[in-house]
Amino acid sequence: MLDSDGSIDVTESSELTPPDRTLMGPGPSDVHPRVLRAMSTPLVGHLDPSFVEIMDEVQELLRYTFRTDNQWTIPVSGTGSAAMEAAISNVVEPGDTMLVPTNGYFGGRMASMARRAGGEVVEVDAPWGEPLAPADVSDALAEHDPDVFGFVHAETSTGVRQPNVSELTAAAHDHDALVIADTVTSLGGVELRVDEWDIDVAYSGPQKCLSCPPGASPLTLSDEAMDKVLSRETDPRSWYLDLSLLEGYWGDERAYHHTAPITNVYAIREALRLVAEEGIEQRWERHERIASALKAGVEAMGLEMNAPDDYWLPSLNAVCIPDGVDDGEVCDALIEQYDLEIASGLGDLDGEIFRIGCMGHSARPENVIFVVTALGDVLESMGADVDPGAGVSATRRALE
Ligand SMILES: *Cc1c(COP(=O)(O)O)cnc(C)c1O
């Protein structure tokens, strides 16, 4: 702390040396070394001709990754919640009605943001741990006639992947509602086709399946959604996230709005280059293959997955906590003994599940063998009825 004369002695601390964790929780995931190297390259100005080129590249790589031709595709300065707020606070106008889901933590965040934008919130119900049923979405659309329908494609709080997306978007469009999709934990990890599935607006985050540090977050809007944004009667309340102003910087003009987080744009460029090098479909396939091995391991050990195969989310595996152990103690032991991060449940699934991420650079064979080994060891030492050896063998077999 400060000395009495207001000075501070930095010789008492050392240069930063964070612990070397393996990140297998709900995000952030492990960052690829190439992304870290990109972040240690020199700054240029945010309007430097070389940076303008980088902006173009990032936009094109984002279109590739989202599977979209949307002109309006940018990295928003900030974390996933900034891209989320940019989507909701621009598309939802005061007096609009937005239909949101109740089946997880992030649907609740959509509702809070819609209310702050002056919108009226109505809900389509499903329990935590289950996806939305298309019939329930249709009924809610017919009952409430909303202007906007939001859903979470990959619910990080429950490990549920929303199936039938095209059915949901078709139903919404039948009622002239625009569709906003939360794709934070699916982009770059789980099949997502923005154009083919007719999603109007999708936002994401860099630190989940893109394995990039948080700071510049993907957002894409169709022309139709952007038309609504550009013809608003009132300005959105946020100046910083006003897409009609951001158009000046990311659109043709390239004029100053705010200083882009240059280093984070470098980072996402490299992270997205890694996606394109691997191939987006191969990347989805890798996540599924690696997460299947994780799933095979925890099941062979004697644990149960919370989500059935129909809507299991490979990038976030919800594993039921076995009897007799405290989830918080298990997570603490994994950090202390193995430098390994996984997470416990939250909201309605608090105390029910572990959340094990399998995202981006973390979705590697050696990582899932490590997780299954470490989790089996810690659970057994705490008295749970598990067979760690069977778990590791099943994981290895699945990876062969
Ligand atoms: C992580 C996450 C967010 C929020 O992203 P932040 O980067 O934490 O702001 C939103 N939605 C989902 C589904 C997420 O997993």
Neighbouring CB atoms inside 10 A of 1's CB total 4
Q: How far apart are CA 185 and CA 170, in angstroms?
A: 23
Given a cut of 80, whether residue 158 has pLDDT beyond it is yes
Which percentage of the chain shows pLDDT scores above 90? 96
**What pLDDT, on a 0 to 100 scale, did the predictor assign at position 12?**
77
Structure tokens at 45: 């100005």
Given a cut of 80, whether residue 242 has pLDDT beyond it is yes
Which residue, by CA, sits nearest to atom 12 of ligand 1? 184
- 67-98 confidence digits (pLDDT tens): 999 999 999 999 999 999 999 999 999 999 99
**What pLDDT, on a 0 to 100 scale, did the predictor assign at position 13?**
82
**pLDDT top residue among 4 and 186:** 186
Neighbouring CB atoms inside 10 A of 223's CB total 12
pTM of the model: 0.97
How many angstroms separate the alpha carbon of residue 217 from the centre of ligand 1? Answer: 10
Q: What band does 1 get if pLDDT is binned at 50, 70 and 90?
A: low
**What is the greatest pairwise CA distance in the chain?**
69
- 297-346 confidence digits (pLDDT tens): 999 999 999 999 999 999 999 999 999 999 999 999 999 999 999 999 99
**What pLDDT, on a 0 to 100 scale, did the predictor assign at position 8?**
86
**Residue 6, burial from CB neighbour count under 10 angstroms (0-12, 13-18, 19+):** exposed
- Residue 339 phi/psi, 5-degree rounding, is 55, 40
Q: Which residues line ligand 1 (CB under 6 A)?
A: 27, 79-81, 84, 106, 152, 156, 182, 184-185, 205, 214
Which residue, by CA, sits nearest to atom 2 of ligand 1? 184
Q: What band does 5 get if pLDDT is binned at 50, 70 and 90?
A: confident
Atom of ligand 1 nearest to the CA of 104: 13
Tokens 């935590």 appear where?
Answer: 128
Given a cut of 90, whether residue 15 has pLDDT beyond it is no
Average pLDDT over residues 184-197: 98
Instruction: Give the pairing type, strands 340-341 and 22-23.
Output: parallel
Q: How far apart are CA 168 and CA 97, in angstroms?
A: 17
Task: From 23, 81, 211, give the residue whose CB has the most ligand 1 atoms within 8 Å, as the site to mutate.
Answer: 81
- 258-311 confidence digits (pLDDT tens): 999 999 999 999 999 999 999 999 999 999 999 999 999 999 999 999 999 999
Q: What are the extents of the domains in the chain?
A: 33-277, 279-399
**Residue 274, burial from CB neighbour count under 10 angstroms (0-12, 13-18, 19+):** buried
Structure tokens at 109: 């965040």
Question: Does the domain at residues 279-399 carry the CATH identifier 3.90.1150.10?
Answer: yes
How many angstroms separate the alpha carbon of residue 205 from the centre of ligand 1? Answer: 6
Average pLDDT over residues 390-395: 98
Tokens 């102003």 appear where?
Answer: 245
How many angstroms separate the alpha carbon of residue 79 from the centre of ligand 1? Answer: 8
Helix axes 49-66, 262-278, angle to 10 degrees: 40
Positive or negative: CA dihedral 26, 109, 215, 71? positive
Which residue, by CA, sits nearest to atom 14 of ligand 1? 184
CATH code of the domain made up of 33-277:
3.40.640.10
How many angstroms separate the alpha carbon of residue 80 from the centre of ligand 1? Answer: 5
Residues 6+ apart with CB under 8 A from 227: none
Atom of ligand 1 nearest to the CA of 206: 7
**Residue 234, burial from CB neighbour count under 10 angstroms (0-12, 13-18, 19+):** exposed
Contact 14, 352 (CB under 8 A): no
Q: How far apart are CA 220 and CA 162, in angstroms?
A: 19
Atom of ligand 1 nearest to the CA of 205: 7
Q: Which residue type does 367 have?
A: N
Atom of ligand 1 nearest to the CA of 81: 9
Which residue, by CA, sits nearest to atom 6 of ligand 1? 80
Which residue, by CA, sits nearest to atom 5 of ligand 1? 80
Lowest model confidence (mean pLDDT) among 12-16, 112-116, 275-279: 12-16
How many angstroms separate the alpha carbon of residue 288 from the centre of ligand 1? Answer: 21
Tokens 């630190």 appear where?
Answer: 207
Strand partners, 202: 181, 220
How many angstroms separate the alpha carbon of residue 112 from the centre of ligand 1? Answer: 14
